[in-house]
């Protein structure tokens, strides 16, 4: 009797387990991790007790990709985890599923190899059924490397290749008879919508079914389409017989939905498709997979642009990189989610998911928020002329398409970004062969994607060397041409942008055109009222974006654009105003909004908006320039109201008309705290915004008692303002000395030559500081810096960095066209005296500190007899320099 009872219970458990639905959970926490290749790390015998303990998402490069030492760890590493798996899932199919790991993975379970994967940005999974032990500890050992592999794209790119298991990892348990998990880590269900219009839609659902039992299985496949409220709209079913071990396709054709509610940018309505398989006889549910269904139709027209559900829509949005301040690419879901919310809030309706497929939550968010997307594989900069490279690229394309196949937001599949940026040859037979091979890869990718998914468009992004792409026929292959254009940034003439658009329109008649990239670098710590390209100021950022948006809006044949980039991102080898960071984001690495973000939000959003710009600039400074002892500086106020009024310290500055999405006010700042208050009325709504700013007022006459002297912080050779955010110090531009006042005597501003003209200062990384901009400009040939300060004791800090070196001549990889014609001027020596006392007669920055290293010397000086302060430079060899000066009154 007792025995019987147990058998009954056992049957119950087995039966229950059989009929149970999928169980999916993450196994992210508490992994042992080490770099390198310890002996037999996949085996239990390997002692991992001294390894670090980490949580996934994890990257091993979050710190070394952001430190001063060039390079970051690109090598092998291991993750290990002892995981107790209870008996609740015993007898079921077990799968380990990775959302992404960079870039080559080998997975072992209990000492046995279970699978491997190449490519850092697509999802993959392995069946572990035969290796898993229930009711016991299991040793998961995962080898990952991010070593350069000539056969795995990307070979090179302007972003850091953070290594690691940097997205979620899961265990999945399901019935041995289940919806297939082994088709490029897709959902096993492919939903097509061959016809959609306002009155009806037809849906076709393909399901891959697997029987991993030793018996044949007879099952019922159901597809239930529900509306967003969960009400059943349509249901289909079919009966399928599966032989033991068989994987089979079931296709439910032409499911008709009348009067569909469409998926649109403003109303991203989604149906849900529940794909279920049931035991034919017992009716028990064996497996279920849920997919979103968006009913929409769209087209791109080479003259009129993009149409969604019959309506013309200009696509405006951004590209996005998947990293974050101090975290590298290892982000929890919430941080991904936040980015799509930021884009939506900005009024964007398009996301170029570039340069690689991203976390599934990014795609989910785009589906949910009505953001049209283009997803691409990371074939960037160059190809390797091998079949293996070609094959790996094709595999990636398949993974991409199958994994995000059911997303209503996806309308474009992309491949190849600026593939001729790093051509290994520049002429002759080798170049010709290289072109031919690249064309072959392009044609293979195009064919693969079109075969996999004829319902979407294909796109390729080019840089401004049309001739290369034409020579290799690459401009002909994809359905959409994406142009990455940086006129007014890498190239000097901003107006060349619209000329290039018109050229493309003319030359590539019939091709759909998009601007897949454009953008200037902006460091929100920098401001300038004489802004120019490469100065990284907020102000130049605005000039640039205003121009580009205006020119694209004028041209209906530009179907859309994705500015570069939503966020600042890490690029180890790059030096912008912030080392290792590409500063072209409209939000920062920490997602701080820059003025350009507010500009787009005002231009694109239909909600009433009023935002005082320069919001982040909380410690400002400047020189008295009114009789009332104030400093007038302009402040943009972003609004879609017709006019705005600004109050400063409770006094109205009057109303101003808004042009180009903002009104520029001349704001008289007083020393200390200032309160700005903007008011406006937009579409009947009263709007108000406030901002408090600390202002460091500097007298124009330093002995003027109405503006007592406390300190000045001056960047030489520079019209820029810089905010030292850690210490709330306001750096201001240089000026020429006039008696009673302060400033430089003699010399010129340092400008670095680039392939197309020159840039203010330098963009080399300055070691030993996190205030690059303070050191990146300088006055060359300076004779003196004078300040007619009142008597007292002062700390005088002199700032130097040698900007000239042989190294500097090596063209910076990403600053297209940086040239090499400068002569070496870094070998310089000069004397320094302060108020007539020699402090050095042979000061040589390069000799004593090397190139590009921040040097700060502090002198304590007593000023007497009303003589003020004079720092004098005495030329010995080469030209004397000074990068910045801080004069601080002690007493
Ligand atoms: C490009 C590349 C992108 C770079 C960008 C830049 O054209 O496609 O990967 O980050 O330019 O900032 O230079
Ligand atoms: Ca995730």
Residues facing 517 on adjacent strands: 484
- Atom of ligand 1 lying closest to residue 521 CA: 12
Q: What is the pLDDT of residues 623-664, one digit of tens each?
A: 999 999 999 999 999 999 999 999 999 999 999 999 999 999
Distance 158 CA to ligand 1 centre (A): 6
Burial class (CB in 10 A: 0-12, 13-18, 19+), 148: exposed
List, for residues 863-885, the tens digit of each pLDDT value.
999 999 999 999 999 999 999 99
Distance 330 CA to ligand 1 centre (A): 22
Q: Are 885 and 717 in contact (CB under 8 A)?
A: no
CA-nearest residue for atom 4, ligand 1, is 158
Q: Which of 484, 570, 575, 812 to mutate to test the pocket of ligand 1 (most atoms within 8 A of CB)?
A: 484
Dihedral of the CA atoms 538, 539, 541, 543 (nearest 10)?
A: 170
Is-contact 653 635, C-beta < 8 A? no
Helices (H) and strands (E) in the chain, counts: 12, 56
Take atom 5 of ligand 1 and give the residue whose Cα is closest.
158
Q: What is the pLDDT of residues 347-398, one digit of tens each?
A: 999 999 999 999 999 999 999 999 999 999 999 999 999 999 999 999 999 9
Residue among 542, 489, 518 at smallest CA distance from 818? 489
Encoded tokens for 731:
């750096």
> Which numbered atom of ligand 1 lies nearest the CA of 569?
10
Protein residue whose Cα sits closest to atom 9 of ligand 1 = 158
Pick the residue whose CA is nearest to atom 1 on ligand 1.
484
Q: Whose CA is nearest to atom 2 of ligand 1?
A: 158
What is the CA(383)–ligand 1 centre distance, in A?
Answer: 17
Q: What is the mean pLDDT of each run of 10 residues along the chain (891 residues)?
A: 49 49 96 97 97 98 91 97 96 97 98 98 98 97 98 98 98 97 97 98 97 96 97 97 94 93 98 97 96 98 98 98 98 98 98 98 98 98 98 98 98 98 97 98 98 98 98 98 97 97 98 98 97 96 98 98 98 89 98 98 95 96 95 98 98 97 98 98 95 96 94 97 96 98 98 86 91 96 98 98 70 40 70 97 94 96 97 96 98 96
CA of 351 relative to ligand 1 center, distance in Å = 16
From the CA of 463, give the closest atom in ligand 1.
Answer: 7
Ligand 1: nearest atom to the Cα of 516: 8
Report the atom number in ligand 1 closest to the C-alpha of 584. Answer: 12
Pocket test for ligand 1, best of 517, 576, 763 (most atoms within 8 A of CB): 517
> What's the CA-to-centroid distance between 519 and ligand 1, angstroms?
9
User: Distance from the CA of 359 to the center of ligand 2, in angstroms?
Assistant: 5
| Token pair recorded at residue 129 | 């059924």
Distance between Cα 168 and ligand 2 center (Å): 5
How many A from CA of 374 to the centre of ligand 1? 17
Q: Is the dihedral of CA 825, 874, 848, 881 positive or negative?
A: negative
- Closest ligand to Cα 335: 2
Q: Give the per-residue pLDDT at 68.
A: 85
Quote the ligand 2 centre to 174 CA distance (angstroms): 21
What distance in angstroms lies between residue 100's CA and the mean position of ligand 2's atoms?
9
Atom of ligand 1 nearest to the CA of 814: 13
Separation of CA 586 and ligand 1 centre (Å): 14
DSSP 89: G
> Which residues sit with their C-beta closer than 6 Å to ligand 1?
157-158, 417-418, 463, 484, 517, 564, 582, 584, 814
Question: 678 vs 596, 610, 635, CA distance in Å?
Answer: 19, 8, 11
* Cis peptide bond prior to 355, omega within 30° of 0: yes
pLDDT of 603 reads 98
Instruction: Using alpha carbons, select from 136, 386, 424, 175 the residue that is nearest to residue 286.
Output: 175
Counting from 1 in the atom list of ligand 1, the atom nearest the Cα of 816 is 13
Name, in order, each residue with C-beta under 8 angstroms of 95's C-beta and a sequence gap of 6 or more: 125, 126, 127, 128, 129, 171, 172, 173, 174, 181
Q: Tell which residue, 198, 218, 197, 196, has the closest CA to residue 209.
A: 218
Cis peptide before 57 (omega within 30 of 0): yes
Report the separation in Å between the CA atom of 283 and the middle of ligand 2, taken as the mean of its atom positions. Answer: 34
Candidates 522, 574, 582: which one to mutate for ligand 1, based on the most atoms within 8 Å of Cβ?
A: 582
Tell me, what's the pLDDT at 16?
Answer: 44
Which ligand has its closest atom nearest to the C-alpha of 568?
1
Ligand nearest to the CA of 156: 1
Which amino acid residue places its CA nearest to atom 13 of ligand 1?
814
| Closest ligand to Cα 515 | 1
Q: Minimum-distance ligand to the CA of 485?
A: 1
- Mutate which of 155, 379, 814 to test ligand 1's pocket (most atoms within 8 Å of Cβ)? 814
- Give me ligand 2 centre to Cα 54, in Å: 16
pLDDT value, residue 818:
40
Helix (H, G, I), strand (E, B) or coil at 280: coil
* E strand spans, 259-337: 271-279, 285-293, 298-301, 305-308, 311-312, 315-319
Pocket test for ligand 1, best of 153, 161, 321, 418 (most atoms within 8 A of CB): 418
Question: How many Å lie between the centroid of ligand 1 and the Cα of residue 323?
Answer: 15
Q: Compute, in angstroms, the gap from residue 522 CA to the centroid of ligand 1.
A: 14
ipTM of the complex: 0.98
pLDDT at 21: 86
CA distances from 668 to 632, 704, 711, 720, 840 (A): 4, 19, 20, 19, 42
Q: Which ligand is nearest to the CA of 57?
A: 2
d(CA 579, CA 68): 8
Ligand 1 nearest-atom number relative to CA 418: 8
Query: Residue by residue, what is the 3-state secondary structure of 765-806?
Result: CCECCCCHHHHHCCEECCCEEEECCCCEEEEEEEEECCCCCH
Q: How many Cβ atoms from other residues are within 10 Å of residue 135's Cβ?
A: 10
Instruction: Tell the residue nearest (CA) to atom 3 of ligand 1.
Output: 158
Question: Do the beta carbons of residue 879 and residue 701 sit within 8 Å?
Answer: no
């Amino acid at each position: 009797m007792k025995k019987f009872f147990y058998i009954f219970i056992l049957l119950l458990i087995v039966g229950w387990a059989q009929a149970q639905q999928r169980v999916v959970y993450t196994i992210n926490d508490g992994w042992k991790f080490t770099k390198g290749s310890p002996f037999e790390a996949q085996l239990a015998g390997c002692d991992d007790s001294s390894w670090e303990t980490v949580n996934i998402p994890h990257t091993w490069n979050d710190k070394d990709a952001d430190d001063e030492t060039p390079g970051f760890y690109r090598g092998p590493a291991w993750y290990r985890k002892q995981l107790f798996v209870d008996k609740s899932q015993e007898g079921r199919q077990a799968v380990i599923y990775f959302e992404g790991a960079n870039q080559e993975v080998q997975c072992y379970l209990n000492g046995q190899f279970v699978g491997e994967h190449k490519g850092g940005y697509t999802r993959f999974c392995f069946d572990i059924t035969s290796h898993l032990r229930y009711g016991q500890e299991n040793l998961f050992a995962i080898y990952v490397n991010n070593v350069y592999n000539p056969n795995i794209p990307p070979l090179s790119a302007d972003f850091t290749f953070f290594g690691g298991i940097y997205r979620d990892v899961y265990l999945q348990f399901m019935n041995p008879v289940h919806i297939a998990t082994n088709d490029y880590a897709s959902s096993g269900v492919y939903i097509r919508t061959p016809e959609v219009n306002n009155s009806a839609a037809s849906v076709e659902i393909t399901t891959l079914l697997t029987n991993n039992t030793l018996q044949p299985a007879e099952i019922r496949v159901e597809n239930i389409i529900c509306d967003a409220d969960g009400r059943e709209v349509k249901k289909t079913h079919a009966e399928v017989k599966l032989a033991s071990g068989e994987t089979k396709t079931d296709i439910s054709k032409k499911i008709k939905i009348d009067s569909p509610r469409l998926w649109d940018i403003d109303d991203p309505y989604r149906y849900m498709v529940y794909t279920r398989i049931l035991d034919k006889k017992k009716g028990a549910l064996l497996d279920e997979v849920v997919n979103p269904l968006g009913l929409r139709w769209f087209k791109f027209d080479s003259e009129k642009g993009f149409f969604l559900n019959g309506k013309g829509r200009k696509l405006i949005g951004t590209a996005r990189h998947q990293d974050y301040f101090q975290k590298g690419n290892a982000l929890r879901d919430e941080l991904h989610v936040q980015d799509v919310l930021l884009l939506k809030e900005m009024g964007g309706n398009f996301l170029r998911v570039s340069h690689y497929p991203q976390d599934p939550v990014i795609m989910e968010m785009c589906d949910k928020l009505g953001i049209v997307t283009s997803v691409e594989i990371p074939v960037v900069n160059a190809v390797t002329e091998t079949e293996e490279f070609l094959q790996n690229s094709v595999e990636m394309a398949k993974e991409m398409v199958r994994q995000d196949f059911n997303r209503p937001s996806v309308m474009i599949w992309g491949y190849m970004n600026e593939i001729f940026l790093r051509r290994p040859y520049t002429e002759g037979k080798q170049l010709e062969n290289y072109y031919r091979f690249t064309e072959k890869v392009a044609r293979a990718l195009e064919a693969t994607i079109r075969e996999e998914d004829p319902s979407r468009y294909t796109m390729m992004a080019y840089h401004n060397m049309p001739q290369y792409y034409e020579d290799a026929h690459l401009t002909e292959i994809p359905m959409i041409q994406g142009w990455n254009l940086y006129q007014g940034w890498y190239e000097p003439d901003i107006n060349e942008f619209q000329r290039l658009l018109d050229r493309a329109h003319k030359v590539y008649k019939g091709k759909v055109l998009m601007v897949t990239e454009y953008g200037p670098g902006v460091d929100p710590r920098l401001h300038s009222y004489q802004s120019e390209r490469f100065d990284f100021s907020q102000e130049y950022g605005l000039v640039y974006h205003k121009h580009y948006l205006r020119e694209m809006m004028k041209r209906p044949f530009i179907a859309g654009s994705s500015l570069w980039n939503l966020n600042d991102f890490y690029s180890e080898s790059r030096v912008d105003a912030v080392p290792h960071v590409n500063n072209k984001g409209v939000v920062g690495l920490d997602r701080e909004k820059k003025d350009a973000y507010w500009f787009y939000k005002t231009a694109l959003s239909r909600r009433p908006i009023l935002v005082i710009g320069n919001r982040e600039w909380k410690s400002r400074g400047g020189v008295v320039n009114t009789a009332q002892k104030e400093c007038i500086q302009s402040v943009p106020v972003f609004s879609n109201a017709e006019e705005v009024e600004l109050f400063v310290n409770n006094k109205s500055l009057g109303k101003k008309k808004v042009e180009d999405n903002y009104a520029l006010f001349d704001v008289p700042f007083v020393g200390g705290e200032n309160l700005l208050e903007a008011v406006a009325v937009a579409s009947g709504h009263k709007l108000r915004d406030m901002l408090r700013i600390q202002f460091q007022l500097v007298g124009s006459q330093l002995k003027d008692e109405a503006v007592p002297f406390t300190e000045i912080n001056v960047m030489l050779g520079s019209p820029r303002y810089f905010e030292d955010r850690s210490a709330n110090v306001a750096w201001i531009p240089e000026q020429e000395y006039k008696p009673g006042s302060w400033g430089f005597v003699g010399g010129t501003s340092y400008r670095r030559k680039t392939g197309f003209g020159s840039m203010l200062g330098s963009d080399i990384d300055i070691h030993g500081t996190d205030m690059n901009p303070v050191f990146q400009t300088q006055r060359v040939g300076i004779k003196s810096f004078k300040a007619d300060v009142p008597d007292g004791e002062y700390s005088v800090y002199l700032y130097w960095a040698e900007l000239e070196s042989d190294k500097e001549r090596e063209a910076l990889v990403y600053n297209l066209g940086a040239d090499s014609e400068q002569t070496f001027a870094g070998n310089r020596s000069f004397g320094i005296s302060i108020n007539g006392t020699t402090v050095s007669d042979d000061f040589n920055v390069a000799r004593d500190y090397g190139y590009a290293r921040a040097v700060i010397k502090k002198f304590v000086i007593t000023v007497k007899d009303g003589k003020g302060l004079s720092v004098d430079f005495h030329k010995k060899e080469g030209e004397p320099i000074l990068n910045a000066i801080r004069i601080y009154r002690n007493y």
